[in-house]
Amino acid sequence: MNNRIAVVPGSFDPPTLGHLDVIRRAAALYDELHVLVVHNPGKKAMLPIAQRLTLLEQSIAEADIAGRVIVASWSVGLLVDYAQDVDAGVLVKGIRSQIDVAYETPMAIVNRHLADIETVFLLPDPSHALVSSSLVRQVAGLGGDVSPFVPAPVARFLDTGVRGN
Ligand code: PNS
């Protein structure tokens, strides 16, 4: 496995400014970055996977992120199977708080056990510390303005796509 190739996995339902910040930081650290939309069976989805892919691609393009970034999805097996398919040696996760550390640590240990793959935790800018996809889903679903929390393409889509106006 190649430690210059990394995967940033997540539900991205929807992508937030915090996600984009982690993607930008990771893209600067690795030669090739795979941003991977993974179905999380533990969460009730708002957006279909294809829509999340489109929004991620548009957001990454608009943010003018330097580096080789590939957007893909994975729903047929373990995350580490995808990592092995693309020869990635690193998983990257954003950590906002101790709650994220507690949530991510068991997954990192399991992924290392499964495939001897390392997980690297990156700290997003503190301005994104309180942003989560679940809050964005709730605010958007109730008709609130989510534009301070998400990339412009996501805000545009949620304004029309979810609220239907
Ligand atoms: O954005 P999320 O929902 O916190 O991301 C969690 C995700 C999708 C990365 C995690 O659920 C995952 O890795 N799922 C893939 C299935 C898998 O490989 N599970 C075993 C290792 S945790």
Task: Give 8-61 pLDDT, tens digit per residue.
Answer: 999 999 999 999 999 999 999 999 999 999 988 888 999 999 999 999 999 999
In angstroms, the Cα distances linking 65 to 45, 48, 122, 135, 146 are 27, 24, 17, 25, 22
Ligand 1: residues whose CB is within 6 Å?
A: 9-11, 38, 40, 43, 78-79, 107, 110-111
Q: What does the domain layout of the chain look like in residue ranges?
A: 2-160
Domain 2-160 listed as CATH 3.40.50.620: yes
Atom number in ligand 1 closest to CA 9: 9
What is the model's pLDDT at position 165? 40
Q: Which residues contact 161 (CB under 8 A, 6 or more apart)?
A: 51
HSE-CB of 75 using CA atoms within 13 angstroms: 10
Residues 29, 69: contact at Cβ < 8 Å? no
CA 146/CA 150 separation, integer angstroms:
7
How many A from CA of 79 to the centre of ligand 1? Answer: 7
